[in-house]
Amino acid sequence: MLYTKILHRGSYKSRVLQIEIDKKRLVTPTYFPSISSVATRLPLEPLVQSIVRSGYPRLLVSAYDLAGLSRENYNRISRMLGKFSKENNFLLIDSGSFESYWFRDRRWNFKKYRAIIDKIKSDFFTSFDNIPDSHSDYLDILRLTHQNAKDSSKLMKDNHCITICHGQSPEQLQKLVKKLSLNNSELCQVIAIPERSCGKTLHDKIKTVQKIRNILDNDKEENVLHILGCGNPLSMALFAMAGADIFDSIDWSRWVVDLRSLGFTDFANLSITDCMCRVCRMKNMDPILRAILHNLLFYQDFVLELQQSIILKDELNFLKRYVDQKTVSKIVNFF
Ligand SMILES: [Zn+2]
């Protein structure tokens, strides 16, 4: 059974939430490094291995990518994932619609998605979703979201399914979540929205996250909000202040986080950032592995520090560690 409870409330809409799944506990705000064949720099297997070896406790893998593996690779990787989930880590399987959309693969369907969700024991999985294009009709998006969420939630017992909501505009996204919360609140326990659907500016995105948090709160304050495709640390902190709980992205496997500015830079530039983290102090390591482990350590420390700042209601001072006072003053006006 999936059970959520608010442990602490911070400033603005931020909170520290505990999610219990089958005796495992996940504390938010938290980050899932995700692996996707769209725009990744490395194949699936070494990325899974690097997560497992690093001891990082969370991982998101796409059902589409798992379905596309050869039998031999699938057997090896699914064993690795099964062991990962068994060892008190959190495995999230994504619907694969993101990959099928970008690869324009119209053959990806609910049946293929279901085959992976049924076979691989995960802690969470996202509902099957249809990414709308600019011509999609709102009523069709609404109908498909309801139908897919209902069908997906039946796949595993105890509803560990995260309902994905899409919209062609932030307003449409809010309308859809509202409708879902009024008509099918059981599907709103964990809602995921893509960051790119929340608006075109940071201000608009924060406003959308705040409004969706309010809609979910009107149903139950313990409802969880996941922002898909969000790994920019500053955005994560601001969306957490707007009421978001979970984040995932592929950034950890594409760029190096510069700890001084929270900006992203090329893998090859890690050595000139003068990073003194535990990973960067280690000798004789492959540079790509070092960059990945440096990022994973950063994300783990960052979410723990973000949680701590929420507990102390000290989020703005937390931000001041990375951005100047002028920027923080601008940010305050967003809330
Ligand atoms: Zn480092």
**Ligand 1: centre distance to CA 179 (Å):** 45
**Ligand 1: centre distance to CA 270 (Å):** 7
**3-class secondary structure for the chain?**
CEEEEEEEECCCCCEEEEEEECCEEEECCEEEEEECCCCCCCCHHHHHHHHHHHCCCEEEEEHHHHHCCCHHHHHHHHHHHHHHHHCCCEEEEECCHHHHHHCCCCCCCHHHHHHHHHHCCCCEEECCCCCCCCCCCHHHHHHHHHHHHHHHHCCCCCCCEEEECCCCCHHHHHHHHHHHHHHCHHHHCEEEEEHHHHCCCHHHHHHHHHHHHHHHHHHCCCCEEEEECCCCHHHHHHHHHCCCCEEEECHHHCCEEECCCCEEECHHHHHHHCCCCHHHHCCCCCHHHHHHHHHHHHHHHHHHHHHHHHHCCCHHHHHHCCCCHHHHHHHHCCC
**Ligand 1: centre distance to CA 83 (Å):** 28
Q: Is the peptide bond before 43 cis (omega within 30 degrees of 0)?
A: no
List, for residues 189-213, the tens digit of each pLDDT value.
Answer: 999 999 999 999 999 999 999 999 9
What confidence score (pLDDT) does residue 157 get?
62
Enter the pTM of the model.
0.96
In the block, residue with structure tokens 């986080």: 257
**Ligand 1: centre distance to CA 257 (Å):** 8
Contact between 194 and 212 under an 8 Å Cβ cutoff? The reply is no
Q: Is the pLDDT of residue 175 over 60?
A: yes
Interval 168-177 mean pLDDT: 94
**Ligand 1: centre distance to CA 267 (Å):** 11
What confidence score (pLDDT) does residue 23 get?
86
**Ligand 1: centre distance to CA 252 (Å):** 13
Q: At 6, is the pLDDT very low, low, confident or very high (cuts 50, 70, 90)?
A: very high
**Ligand 1: centre distance to CA 288 (Å):** 12
Give 267's Cβ-side CA count (13 Å radius): 15
Q: Cα–Cα distance between 57 and 51 in angstroms, integer?
A: 8
**Ligand 1: centre distance to CA 1 (Å):** 38
Q: Is the pLDDT of residue 264 over 70?
A: yes
**Ligand 1: centre distance to CA 228 (Å):** 25
**Ligand 1: centre distance to CA 294 (Å):** 4
Contact between 90 and 123 under an 8 Å Cβ cutoff? The reply is yes
List, for residues 23-56, the tens digit of each pLDDT value.
Answer: 899 999 999 999 999 977 788 999 999 999 899 9
Question: What letter represents residue 189's amino acid?
Answer: Q
**Ligand 1: centre distance to CA 265 (Å):** 13
**Ligand 1: centre distance to CA 160 (Å):** 35
**Ligand 1: centre distance to CA 45 (Å):** 23
Q: Into how many domains does the chain fold?
A: 1
What confidence score (pLDDT) does residue 158 get?
60
List, for residues 72-125, the tens digit of each pLDDT value.
Answer: 999 999 999 999 999 999 999 999 999 999 999 999 999 999 999 999 989 999
Q: Is the pLDDT of residue 327 over 80?
A: yes
- Quote the tokens at residue 165: 């909501």
Q: Which domain holds residue 49?
A: 2-332
List, for residues 281-325, the tens digit of each pLDDT value.
Answer: 999 999 999 999 999 999 999 999 999 999 999 999 999 998 889
**Ligand 1: centre distance to CA 44 (Å):** 23
**Ligand 1: centre distance to CA 303 (Å):** 16
**Ligand 1: centre distance to CA 200 (Å):** 31
**Ligand 1: centre distance to CA 266 (Å):** 13
**Ligand 1: centre distance to CA 254 (Å):** 15
What confidence score (pLDDT) does residue 121 get?
87
What confidence score (pLDDT) does residue 40 get?
75
Contact between 90 and 26 under an 8 Å Cβ cutoff? The reply is yes
**Ligand 1: centre distance to CA 292 (Å):** 9
Q: At 128, is the pLDDT very low, low, confident or very high (cuts 50, 70, 90)?
A: very high
**Ligand 1: centre distance to CA 278 (Å):** 7
**Ligand 1: centre distance to CA 89 (Å):** 23
CATH of the domain at 243: 3.20.20.105
**Ligand 1: centre distance to CA 145 (Å):** 41
**Ligand 1: centre distance to CA 279 (Å):** 5
Which is more confident, 215 or 154?
215
**Ligand 1: centre distance to CA 277 (Å):** 4
Q: Cα–Cα distance between 79 and 76 in angstroms, integer?
A: 5
The rounded mean pLDDT for the chain is 93
What confidence score (pLDDT) does residue 159 get?
57
